[in-house]
A and B are shown apart, each in its own frame.
Chain A
Amino acid sequence: MRLEFALTEKQHADVLDRLFGERAYRRKDPERGFLAAVFPATGAERRTLLLGQIVEPGEDDVYWSPEEGLVMTHRYYSRALSVVQSIDGAGLINVHSHPGPRSGLHPPRPSPEDLEADARELCFASRALPEGRPAAAAIVTPAGAMSVREYGFLRPRTSKEALSVKFGPKGARIVFAERIRIAGPGLRILPGNPGKKLRDLEVDGKALESSILLWGERGQRILGELCIGIAGLGGVGGILAEHLARLGVGTLVLVDYDRLEDANFNRSQGASRADVASRALKVEVYARIAKESATAPRFSVFPYRASVAEAEGLKRLLDCDIVVGAADDAFARQVLDHEAYAHLIPVIDGGTTLVPDAVSKLLVAGKSQVVAAGPGHACLECQGVYTQEEATVARESPGWGRYIDLPDDAEDQLKKELRAPSVICNNGLVASLIGVRILAIALGIAPRTVRGTQRFYVEEGKLAWAATKICKPDCRKSSWTGLGDSHHIPVGADLRWREIQREEGDAKAKRRLGRGLKTAMRRIGRRR
C-alpha cells in the first residue's frame, strides 16, 4: 500500500507561518519545529497520513543546540503524547524546518542526524501510544516543499524483546510519503519522497496541443498526476469518463453497479447497441471508452462494480485525489460529503432536475447544478444538494420515494412517477461544468469559479452562482476535517444494489439448475 500525506491549504499556510513567518519561535535558530497529531486515512491501495491538531510548543520546548541540533524536550513530547493519546485514532508527527531551499518544491532530504534522532524519539513515543497509531516525521522548506516519512516499530511483548535492537530505534521501518496533497479550496500535489520524482510524465504534445496552449506542459503534467474517481456512470458520469480521459487525466477510478439497458441507452454516450444487447456493466463499457480516448501516455482506469454508499465502493474512492459524485442519490451524496472533509478528498457533485407539465408533458421547469465540497468549501448539505431526511429515505428501500400510506395497487404508478426525466444534452452540460470545475480546482485557472454552487436554470437559459459559500452555523462537517479513519462515514446497505445482487444470484442459480437438469435428462436418455 502506497503512502501519502495530506493537509488543508489553511494548515499548510499555518505550518509555514509557525516555522518561517510571524509566529515562528526563536527566529534566530536555524531550524524550528513542533509536534502534532496525525490521522491515518485508509483506502483500498493508498494510506494517507493527515495532519491534525498542532500541540503548541512553549518558548523553551523546542530549541537549536550547536552540539545536538534541533531539540524537542522530553517535557514537550510528554505533553504532546498526553494530548494525542486522548484523541481517538491519532498518532504523533514531529515536524521541523530546513532553512533551504527557498524556492522549488523538491522535497527536503533528511540528514543522517535527522533520521537517527527521529527514530529514537518516535520509538519512545510509539510505545507510549496505543498499538496501531502512526508515528511520523516531516521536514518543511521555506518554499513550502515537504517530505514526510512514517516510522514503524516492532512492539516488544517480553522484557527480552524490549532490550533487543530489532525492537528499538535501529529496527525502524521507514516509509516515505510519495506525494503531499494540499487540499481546499484548490488542490496541489507535491512530491514527498526526496529520493524519488513523481511519475516522470511524458506529455503527448500533438494530441494535447490545443489545451497546452492554455495551461502549458506543467499544467498537463498536473492533470497526468491526478487520480479522479467517478461515483455513478449514468448520463453525467459516463460522459465525464471520456472527457477526463481526453483532457489527459492520468488515472480514473469508476464505481457503479448498473448495467446498460434500453432504458438508459439514449444518454449513454459512447455505448453501442451491442453493449445494451449484452447488458454490459457500465463500469466496463466506460473503462473501455476511457482507454480508447485517453491522451495521457500512461493512462490507467480501474472499474469497480460496487455502490459508493457501501464500504467496499467507498474504499476505492479513498484512493483518489478528487471524486466526482454523479450517483443522483441522497445516500451516496451524504457518504461523499463526509469523505470530502474527513479524508481531504474534494468532491464535485452534479445533476439535473427536469419537471414536465403533467398534461402537455412539455418541460415547465428544471435546473442543472454543479457543486464542490471539501475543505475550503461549504458542504453539499449546506449548499442544498441533499437533506438528511432525503439521505434517510434513500436508506429505506430500493427506489423508496414516498414513505407510506400508498394504496397497494399504486406501486406501478408510483414507479412511473419516480422515474425522473433525463436528457443527454443536460447531462452533457453538467459533465462539462464538472470538468471545468476540476480544471479550476487542480490547475488554479479561473480561481473565482472554484467555490460554490453553479446553476443552469432551464426555463430561463441562465447560468448563475448561488449565494451560499460557507456552511450553516449548526453544520459539524468542518470539525471532521482531516480525521480520516477516526471519523465514521455513514455507509450502509445500498438496498437497490443488494436487490440486483439477489436477482442476479437467483438468475445464475436458475441457469445452473437448468444446465444441471439438461445434463441429468441427457444421462437418463442415454441409459434408456
Chain B
Amino acid sequence: MSDLVEADLPQPFRDALRCLREKKDAGARVDAVSGNFAYVWVEKLAKNNALESAGGWLRLPVAFPHANPHGLITREALRGASEGEVGDGHHAGHDMCKPVAGIGGAHYYSWTWENAPPPRTPEDIIGVVQWYERRIRKG
C-alpha cells in the first residue's frame, strides 16, 4: 500500500518523506491517505528522553510543507514525562483514527500548529517530529 500511495503524492511531500527516512527513521512509511492528509508511521517517536519509543502516525497534510501538521494517532494512550497520561487533546477511538484503525490506530491527539512558525521546506519535517516529541513530553 505504501508504495502505491507514495507515488501519487506531490513531490515536496515525497522530499519530506525522504528527509524523514534519512535523518530520523528509515522505516517511516505512509500507511493511509484520507482527504487532504496522509498518515505517516514513525516508529522512532521518542517518548520522554528518547530512550523509549512511543511510535505513532503523524497526520501530515499532503500539501506539506505548504500546510501544517494536524494531529497524531497512536496505538496506545500516550504517557508523558511524569508517567501520567497525556491528556492534552486526547480522544480515544475518534473518527480521525479510522484510516489506520485496521492496523491499530486507536488514540487521536488533536494537536494543531497554531501560533508556531509554519514549516516552509520539506526539510522542516525534522522540526515537526521534534515538535510532536515535545508535545508528548509535555503531557
Q: Which residues of A contact B (CB under 8 A)?
A: 334, 338, 387-389, 391-393, 395-397, 403-405, 474, 476, 488, 490, 492-493, 495
Q: Which residues of B contact A (CB under 8 A)?
A: 10-12, 35-37, 61-63, 66-68, 70, 89, 91, 110, 112-114, 117-118, 120-121
| Residue of B36, B68, B89 most packed against chain A (CB within 10 A) | B36
Contact partners of A387 in chain B: CB under 8 A: 118
Q: A492-B62, A493-B35, A495-B35 are in contact. Are A388 and B118 (CB under 8 A)?
A: yes
Complex alpha-carbon distance, A490 and B66, angstroms: 7
Report yes or no: A334 in contact with B66, Cβ–Cβ below 8 A: yes
Partner of B67, one of A388, A476, A488: A388
Of the A-B pairs whose beta carbons lie under 8 Å apart in the complex, a sample of 24, sorted by A's number, is A334-B67, A387-B118, A388-B66, A388-B67, A392-B67, A392-B68, A392-B70, A393-B112, A395-B35, A395-B36, A395-B37, A395-B61, A396-B35, A396-B70, A403-B70, A403-B112, A404-B91, A404-B110, A476-B121, A488-B10, A490-B63, A492-B35, A492-B61, A495-B35
Complex alpha-carbon distance, A388 and B61, angstroms: 12
Q: A389-B118, A395-B35, A397-B35 are in contact. Are A490 and B112 (CB under 8 A)?
A: no
Complex alpha-carbon distance, A490 and B91, angstroms: 29
Contact partners of A334 in chain B: CB under 8 A: 66-67
Contact partners of B120 in chain A: CB under 8 A: 474, 476
Complex alpha-carbon distance, A192 and B117, angstroms: 44
Select from chain A the residue with minimum beta-carbon distance to B116.
A389
- Looking at the assembled complex, report how far the CB atom of B71 sits from the nearest CB atom of chain A, in whole angstroms: 9
Contacts A389-B112, A392-B61, A403-B70 supplied; 20 other A-B pairs, CB < 8 Å: A388-B67, A388-B68, A389-B68, A389-B114, A392-B67, A392-B68, A395-B35, A396-B35, A396-B70, A403-B112, A404-B91, A404-B110, A405-B89, A476-B120, A488-B10, A490-B66, A492-B61, A493-B35, A493-B36, A495-B35
Select from chain A the residue with minimum beta-carbon distance to B121.
A476
Contact partners of B61 in chain A: CB under 8 A: 392, 395, 492
Contact partners of A490 in chain B: CB under 8 A: 10, 63, 66-67
Report yes or no: A395 in contact with B110, Cβ–Cβ below 8 A: no
Complex alpha-carbon distance, A404 and B113, angstroms: 14
Q: A392-B61, A395-B61, A404-B89 are in contact. Are A338 and B112 (CB under 8 A)?
A: no
Complex alpha-carbon distance, A404 and B89, angstroms: 8
Contact partners of A338 in chain B: CB under 8 A: 66
For the complex of A and B, list the 6 residue pairs with the smallest distance between their C-beta atoms, beginning with the closest. A490-B63, A388-B118, A395-B36, A490-B66, A392-B67, A404-B110
Contact partners of A392 in chain B: CB under 8 A: 61, 67-68, 70, 112-113
Complex alpha-carbon distance, A492 and B117, angstroms: 22
